[in-house]
Structure 1
């Protein structure tokens, strides 16, 4: 019997990992593996070989030493270094447990993380993760391979989220300090905090950062159901709210739009992309559109 309803048992975790593996491997390989491959640039160009010069070859790449030795022009051939490092910054705070339509934010975060992890390992890339609330809950260094992706899923599924507040800033700072080479970072969060603009700007100047704002329909619209006692999932604070009051519902909606506009502005100024995914939406379509747009 579980003592904490927010944590899965070992048996449940193994079952979920298997389900995630089957679902995400199919999505990663069949739906947008090609788009993922071409959406992100490698670290640079590496030397592959020397071959005879052909008309049209860039004369800057002529190997003059080899050409002199054989009394015939030879060109250096380069290829793009495709190996990438993908880091997943995953919000595991209590607000991720919210979900009134479709799935909870935590479930969507986990599924998207699994798809991105398998897309990375399928392309021979390294993948790692930073699980955070208002502090770093777990750091998983980037590695290659299916077993590493499965380990990442097990850790994420076993992570408790109850009574944990959110702070993206420490996670971004930790990411910047632990990843010296350029990486691709996906931030999976509802972005309910606002104090991360400077940290994102620094991370965005060194890395390719993509935010995925996961939100529930109730984050945007408060239903008209009369007096309702609500509890802040992160602080535990409770209060009564008159949902029948139009002004209360309007102010609630405006706060959501304020947070959304702030996130859009912060990511834009940092030169980073931000996607919005509702818990009852098809996140694969959103990701696929994004990857395709990167290739244009």
Structure 2
């Protein structure tokens, strides 16, 4: 049973379905007429079964001798070579966090809502591109996996799981959260075939030694897009005097007018952002941080098409 619609706080299935109308506002996947600066990688690497036989033509200087079609060559008495094209469809797998650390936001929406909206946008874009779409939704205690298929039903199944996980946030049972991000990444490595495109939507604070190792292993055989989520309060404390934070039975009181405390907090945030940047550079993958401060499509468009956005 779905809870009443609470825009910015919880998502509904209808809201995620409506994201399909916004796919055309930002170029996520390349088309014959328009090439996306992000998903140039989407069809750039020939891996494993990622190529299909196309046709045979007469051998030309510079052709790879390993692609010579010896049967046609023997029949025609002239060398012929096989031509291949990249597989037209590809598994797109969206890993989406819906844990308690995302149930927070001080601006337009909660981070959990932003993650759900981004997952839906990439899902509809992949389906429009005739790719197979699936994913994995993970929370504090569990994960739910949808096998990639090229069907609207597969995407709706993923969105349904995402909505259920999102609406359960805020109903903590008091148990300590597990390291579900690393477990989700390990599961993705187990089920995905080489050449898949993996979209990672997680809290900026989710990156640690274990998850970084899993992302590095995942990047060996798949293409990654990293979208860590943040809120302005993750990066800087306001000067608001004494603030009390409560989580379960634990309480913490901070004096936000303490300059040393505020500087230390800001330095920790900067260290997190720098770590994501170093990882993306090391793996050679796109990094698109998302903030609750800005509307989703606008910030994606600004990051992917900065010159066009300025114009």
CA-to-partner distance for each residue in 1:208-236, whole Å, 9 max, x for gaps?
1221111011111211121111124xx66
Q: Which moved more, 1:101-110 or 1:247-256?
A: 247-256
Paired position in structure 1 for 2:128: 122
Matches within 5 A, 1:153-232: 153-159=159-165, 160-162=168-170, 163=172, 165=177, 167=179, 168-193=181-206, 194-195=208-209, 196-232=211-247
Quote the offset at 1:161 in angstroms. 2.7
TM-score scaled by length of structure 2: 0.78
Contact 1:88–1:187, Cα closer than 8 Å, also in 2: yes
Partners of 2:108 and 2:295 within 8 A in 1: no
Matching residue of 2:88? 82
Q: Specify which of 271, 285, 305 is matched with residue 258 of structure 1.
A: 271
SS at match of 2:72: helix
Cα distance, 1:255–1:292 mapped onto 2, change above 3 Å: same
- The CA deviation string for residues 129-184 of structure 1, in whole angstroms up to 9 with x for no partner, is 11123444211121111222122112101112334746321111111122243321
| Secondary structure at the counterpart of residue 289 of structure 2 | strand
- TM-aligned CA distance change 1:146 to 1:12, over 3 Å: farther
Structure 1 residue aligned with 2:109? 103
List runs of 5+ in structure 1 lacking aligned partners.
1-6
> Do 2:95 and 2:198's aligned partners in 1 also have CA atoms closer than 8 Å?
yes
- What is the aligned partner in structure 1 of residue 17 from structure 2? 21
Name the counterpart of 1:3.
none
Cα distance in 2 between the residues matched to 1:55 and 1:197? 45
Give the Cα–Cα distance (whole angstroms) in 1 for the partners of residues 6 and 238 of structure 2.
33
Separation in 2, partners of 1:269, 1:59 = 31
User: Any residues of structure 2 matched to 1:65-76 within 5 Å, and which?
Assistant: 65-70=71-76, 74-76=80-82
Q: What value does the CA root-mean-square deviation take over the aligned residues?
A: 3.1
2:229–2:291 contact (8 Å) kept in structure 1? yes
Q: Does structure 2 conserve the Cα–Cα contact (< 8 Å) formed by 1:39 and 1:291?
A: no
Whole-angstrom distance in 2 between the partners of 1:177 and 1:183 = 12
What's 1:31 paired with? 26
Structure 1, 88-97 or 278-287: larger mean CA deviation: 278-287
C-alpha spacing 1:207/1:59, structure 2 compared with 1 (3 Å): closer
Secondary structure at the counterpart of residue 108 of structure 2: coil
Find the partner of 2:3 among 3, 9, 20: 9
Instruction: Give the Cα separation in 2 of the matches to 1:93 and 1:54.
Output: 56
1:94 Cα deviation from its structure 2 partner: 0.6
Give yes or no for contact 1:93–1:166 (8 Å, CA) kept in 2.
no
Deviations 1:65-108 (A, max 9, x none): 32443456654332211221111111111111111111111111
Judge which range, 210-219 or 37-46, deviates more. Answer: 37-46
Deviations 1:247-287 (A, max 9, x none): 22222212211222233334444444332121122443554
Take 2:263 and 2:6, find their aligned partners in 1: how far apart are those partners? Answer: 41
**What's the counterpart of residue 309 of structure 2?**
none
TM score, norm. by length of structure 1: 0.81
In the alignment, structure 1 residue 145 sits paired with structure 2 residue 158: no
Aligned equivalents of 2:260 and 2:2: distance in 1? Answer: 40
